[in-house]
Amino acid sequence: MSIRKNDIVTVITGEERGKTGKVLDVNTASGRVLVEGVNFIWKHLRRSQQHPHGARIQKEASLHLSNVRIVCQSCNKPTRAISKKLEDGDRARICKKCRQAVAPEV
């Protein structure tokens, strides 16, 4: 899986096509990602002490991994990332278009 938390991704298909955001969470078991500011749903809450009349809040829903592409920081285009072994033995994610590192490790 080439998409990680804190990566910048763009949605390539579906209702939210063209939107860009930061990855908040990656669920590897179901193959879904949560992207900041993309794919909002309404969540209905029961009455509680925090919400005495109940509530209806808007929050992000997850997207499938196949619907997003990582955005390369050097060429600023959505791309696929490949994993490449460097000379010093480390592995890096490389952009398939410009052959530069996709995102610097934080």
Would you state the pLDDT for residue 6?
92
Mean pLDDT value across residues 59-82: 91
CATH at residue 27:
2.30.30.30
Identify whether 78 is part of a domain.
yes
Domain hosting 22: range is 8-47+54-95
Taking the model in full, what pTM does it have? 0.81
Mean pLDDT value across residues 30-42: 95
Identify whether 3 is part of a domain.
no
Better-predicted residue by pLDDT, 14 or 106: 14
Would you state the pLDDT for residue 18?
94
pLDDT band at 1 (very low <50, low <70, confident <90, very high): low
Q: How far is C-alpha 29 from the chain's CA centre?
A: 15
Per the structure, the count of domains in the chain is: 1
Identify whether 12 is part of a domain.
yes
